[in-house]
Amino acid sequence: MTLLVTGAMGHVGYEIVRSLARERPIIAQYNRTFRAADAEALGANVTWATCDLTDLGSVERLCRDNGVDSCIHLAAMANEMYCRPDPVAAFQTNVGAVVNLLDVARREEWRRMIYGSTGSVFKDVDPSLPITEDQPPDADGLYGTTKACGEMMVRAFRAQFGVDAATVRISWIYGPPVVNYTFARGPIPPILIDAIRGVPRDDASGGDFSAGFTYIDDVVAGLIAAVDAPQLNRSIYHLAPPRNYTTFEIADAVRTAVPKAVIAIGPGAMPWNTFTPIRGPMDGRHFIADTGFRTRFDLEQGIGAYATWLLAEPGRLDGAGL
């Protein structure tokens, strides 16, 4: 079995390739960004290949030349911050590439395709209620809408052509090796980085923002469980912790991991809801039933592991947040 991982130089993609590099042959797709040292570190079992996924011919050649029979598709134009300025590119990247991969999967009779999606397909939902895997999306932003279109194509190819494909929506990923202050990453990285640096924080607002922050190790293990599951009975699943956590709770977890931390946060949701509204926790009961996997890291465990990694890699903080 040869697994294609798209977006393999991204956060989740690289960690999946790193996790599986010794177990199976992997085609690691990238487009523009390539870090030679990171690629070489994963050894000869990984074949790195540049490919424009919006071009069907390029996708066909990549997959046929390498004997691909399964895929975890993670390449995307991520976040509203990047999609809004260029809606055409967002559609081509987040929808066109999905259709191209699905069509190759159809014709080559792939064993499995997993499409990585997002909780951003939901907008006007009651934040006090869990979001079930059956709940229809209601996105109106460019990012959420294009991701929802990709989900619809997965469902259509599954229903019309019998392609063994499924969407896995993931909620607010955090953890190594990401070290930045981008709003898209949420409050965990900047609060933790400042704590380790010894920089006090006095945020006027943001404490009431809440989300299902999911540690990277859980995301990687969950997606691998999905692509390897004997049978997936549904077209859409949720991979997320069982509850949401507030920024107030993040601050408490950071204080536990970094006792010297000085953190003050006021009420309200800004600035963390600039591009993403607060929504309820994503209920993943069908994902657990069909894959046997449930998230293992609660917030304190995830932030503790993240802090341990950052403290062991002080060079990673150089330039972070600047």
Give the mean pLDDT of 22-39: 93
DSSP symbol at 282 = B
Residue 315: band (very low, low, confident or very high) from pLDDT cuts 50, 70, 90:
confident
Q: By the 8 A CB rule, do 167 and 236 touch?
A: yes
User: For the segment 111-168, what is each residue's pLDDT rounded down to a tens digit?
Assistant: 999 999 999 999 888 999 999 999 999 998 999 999 999 999 999 999 999 999 999 9
Tens-place pLDDT, residues 56-109: 999 999 999 999 999 999 999 988 888 889 999 999 999 999 999 999 999 999
């598709």: which residue's tokens?
73
Q: Which pLDDT belongs to residue 82?
A: 84
pLDDT score, position 322: 34
Extract long-range pairs of 22-28: CB within 8 Å, 24+ residues apart: 25/1, 26/2, 27/2, 27/3, 27/62, 27/63, 27/66, 27/68
pLDDT at 34 over 90: yes
Within 13 Å and on the Cβ side, how many CA atoms surround 145?
A: 11
Domain 176-211+244-279+299-317 grouped into CATH 1.20.120: no
Residue 171 near residue 282 (C-beta atoms within 8 A): yes
Fold agreement (2-172+213-239, 176-211+244-279+299-317): no
Structure tokens given for 223: 């997606």
Domain boundaries, the chain: 2-172+213-239, 176-211+244-279+299-317
Q: What is the pTM of this model?
A: 0.95
CATH 3.90.1180.10 fits 2-172+213-239, yes or no: no
CB 62 within 8 A of CB 27: yes
Q: What is the pLDDT of residue 319?
A: 60
Mean pLDDT taken over the chain: 94
Judge residue 28's burial from the number of C-beta atoms within 10 Å of its C-beta, 0-12 exposed, 13-18 middle, 19 or more buried: buried
Residue 270 has pLDDT above 60, yes or no: yes
The span from the first CA to the last CA of the chain, in angstroms, equals 43
Residues 6+ apart with CB under 8 A from 307: 192, 195, 196, 254, 257, 258
